[in-house]
């Protein structure tokens, strides 16, 4: 049992591997291990007692209960352990399997951390595996394309400079039919809020920009959006292991906000972008924290609610269930505020999934997995069975999921497992229910 029993053809992995030799692999593996990792990786690999407590932590393992090769320690067994045993000298075909495992069978969600008594971070180990794969030039085609997009356009979706401002102005125009005085201020210096989004929003989730503008307008927020590249807070490079580009992206993003002298950045409802900004990308750039305060939409909406700036014309009909995006909950502890918001917005109960809050099950789409594209969709959806079972057991019709990737993952999952459940952003619900005085 293992990754090599379930290899999936991907042109990016295949071409990458075709350029490798065991000697090249050994050189790169050892260079990464020696130069880029330190005490953490060494201690983790040495003190893992192979106790197997982490086995049922992972949603992949829970969805494949008879296959130990999906467990967190099982993932490490098939990857880092082998590299260390063989001093990095492995065959190209082995790297194929290692890459597929690291990129598509781990969401870096860190649920396993709640199960390990020693405090081993399997997500970190998988990140190092991805780094090695990136340096070897072996990455899945789809996610590598988004990494290229980041390099070329500073955003994830090949949105050209003028397409960005065009899209914002288009949404502004549309929104002004509903709110005649609404503006999406571009490049406003000294604004309180710099609202940043991920590239899929202008590309195919434009209604989220519309909704955000409507909410900002109704709440009387002093906000702006940037007109130049640097507006995309997303970071697929963090997930491919292209840390150099990740650093450039985050620096561009922060400098874009600093140039406008804004008080703080409010991020759209996304998970990984948040991680990249406050945890991973900033560290690569040498910042302990982030040079401009960053707040997630959940927290921002919660503040608006607390300050009475969201006035509801009606409430959203419950009951609902809440999906806790890993990067925002295990990543930033926002599960309580999320629920306070939901209780304010919903007329009905929150029916929790069996695993919720910090112990939630991942949607199986995050960590770059859904971004590896169609070749891996079935494997991803299969890994989401445990989550689907938990969602089904709630018996409700709506899932509140404040994260783009989670939406993608849950949409695929609810379809595949025939769950008749709608998936909503907080922005969706607030916009739907808020007072629209000018309407």
Partner 1 sequence: MNTIYEFVTGPLAWLAWAAFIVGSVWRLVGMYRLAKTKDASSIAFMSWKYSLRSIAHWITPFATLGWRRNPALTVATFLFHLLLFAVPIFLTAHVMLWDQFFGISFPAIPDPIGDYLTIVVIALCVFFAVRRLQDPNVRYITKTADWVALAIVLAPFVTGFLAYRQILDYDTMIILHILAGELMLVAIPWTRLSHMVFAVFTRSYMGSEFGGVRHARDW
Q: What residue ranges bind partner 1 (CB under 8 A)?
A: 1, 36-40, 42-44, 46-47, 49-57, 61, 66, 68-69, 71, 73-74, 76-77, 81, 113-121, 278-279, 283, 288, 329-334, 358-359
Exposed / middle / buried, residue 289 (Cβ in 10 Å: 0-12, 13-18, 19+): exposed
Could you tell me the smallest distance in angstroms from the CB atom of residue 323 to partner 1?
A: 16
Task: Output 108 or 143, the one with its CB closest to partner 1.
Answer: 108
Nearest to 175 by CA among 138, 135, 214: 214
Task: Output 52 or 317, the one with its CB closest to partner 1.
Answer: 52
Distance, CA of 429 to CA of 271 (rounded, Å) = 18
**Helix or strand or coil: residue 232?**
strand
**Helix or strand or coil: residue 309?**
coil
* Contact of 403 with 325, CB cutoff 8 Å: yes
Distance, CA of 80 to CA of 66 (rounded, Å) = 23
DSSP-assigned letters across all residues of 369-410 = TGGG-GGGHHHHHHTTHHHHHHHHHH--SEEE---HHHHHHH
Count of all residues that appear for the chain in the document: 439
Could you tell me the smallest distance in angstroms from the CB atom of residue 284 to partner 1?
A: 9
Task: Output 46 or 420, the one with its CB closest to partner 1.
Answer: 46
**Helix or strand or coil: residue 316?**
strand
Could you tell me the smallest distance in angstroms from the CB atom of residue 79 to partner 1?
A: 12
Could you tell me the smallest distance in angstroms from the CB atom of residue 178 to partner 1?
A: 36
**Helix or strand or coil: residue 335?**
helix
Task: Output 74 or 408, the one with its CB closest to partner 1.
Answer: 74
Handedness of CA 398, 399, 402, 406 (dihedral sign): negative
What is the helix (H) or strand (E) element at residue 196, kind and residue range? strand 193-196
Task: Output 49 or 152, the one with its CB closest to partner 1.
Answer: 49
Could you tell me the smallest distance in angstroms from the CB atom of residue 400 to partner 1?
A: 19
Could you tell me the smallest distance in angstroms from the CB atom of residue 330 to partner 1?
A: 5
Task: Output 20 or 132, the one with its CB closest to partner 1.
Answer: 132
Q: Tokens for 10, please give them.
A: 């991907």
Task: Output 46 or 181, the one with its CB closest to partner 1.
Answer: 46
Could you tell me the smallest distance in angstroms from the CB atom of residue 404 to partner 1?
A: 20
């Amino acid at each position: 049992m293992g990754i090599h029993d379930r290899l999936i053809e991907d042109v990016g992995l295949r071409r990458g591997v075709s350029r490798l030799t065991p000697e090249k692999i050994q050189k790169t593996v050892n260079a990464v291990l020696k130069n880029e990792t330190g005490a953490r990786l060494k201690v983790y690999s040495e003190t893992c007692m192979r106790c197997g407590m982490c086995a049922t932590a992972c949603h992949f393992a829970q969805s494949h209960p008879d296959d130990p090769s999906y467990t967190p320690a099982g993932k490490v067994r098939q990857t880092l352990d082998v590299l260390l045993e063989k001093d990095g000298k492995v065959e190209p075909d082995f790297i194929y399997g290692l890459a597929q495992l690291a990129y598509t069978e781990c969401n870096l969600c860190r649920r396993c951390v709640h199960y390990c008594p020693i405090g081993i971070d399997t997500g970190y180990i998988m990140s190092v595996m991805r780094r090695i794969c990136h340096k070897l030039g072996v990455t899945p085609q789809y996610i590598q394309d988004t990494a290229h997009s980041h390099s070329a356009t500073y955003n994830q979706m090949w949105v050209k400079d003028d397409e960005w401002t065009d899209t914002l102005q288009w949404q502004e125009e549309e929104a002004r039919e509903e709110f005649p005085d609404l503006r999406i201020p571009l490049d406003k210096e000294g604004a309180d809020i710099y609202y940043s989004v991920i590239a899929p929003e202008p590309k195919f989730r434009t209604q989220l920009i519309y909704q955000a503008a409507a909410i900002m307008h109704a709440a009387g927020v002093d906000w702006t959006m940037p007109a130049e590249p640097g507006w995309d807070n997303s970071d697929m490079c963090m997930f491919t292991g292209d840390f150099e580009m990740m650093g450039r992206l985050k620096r561009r993003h922060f400098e874009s906000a600093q140039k406008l002298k804004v008080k703080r950045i409010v991020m759209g409802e996304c998970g990984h972008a948040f991680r990249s900004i406050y945890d991973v990308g900033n560290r690569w750039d040498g910042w302990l924290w982030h040079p401009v305060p960053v707040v997630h939409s959940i927290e921002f909406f919660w503040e608006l609610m607390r300050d009475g700036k969201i006035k509801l014309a009606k409430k959203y009909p419950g009951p609902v269930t809440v999906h806790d995006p890993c990067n925002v909950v295990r990543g930033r502890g926002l599960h309580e505020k999320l629920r306070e918001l939901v209780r304010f917005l919903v007329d009905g109960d929150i029916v929790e999934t069996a695993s919720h809050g910090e112990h939630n099950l991942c949607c199986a789409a995050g960590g770059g997995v859904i971004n590896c594209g169609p070749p891996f969709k079935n494997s991803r959806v299969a890994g989401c069975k445990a989550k689907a079972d938990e969602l089904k057991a709630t018996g409700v019709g709506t899932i509140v999921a404040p994260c783009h990737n989670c939406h993608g993952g849950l949409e695929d999952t609810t379809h595949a497992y025939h769950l008749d459940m709608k998936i909503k952003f907080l922005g969706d619900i607030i916009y739907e229910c808020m007072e629209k005085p000018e309407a």
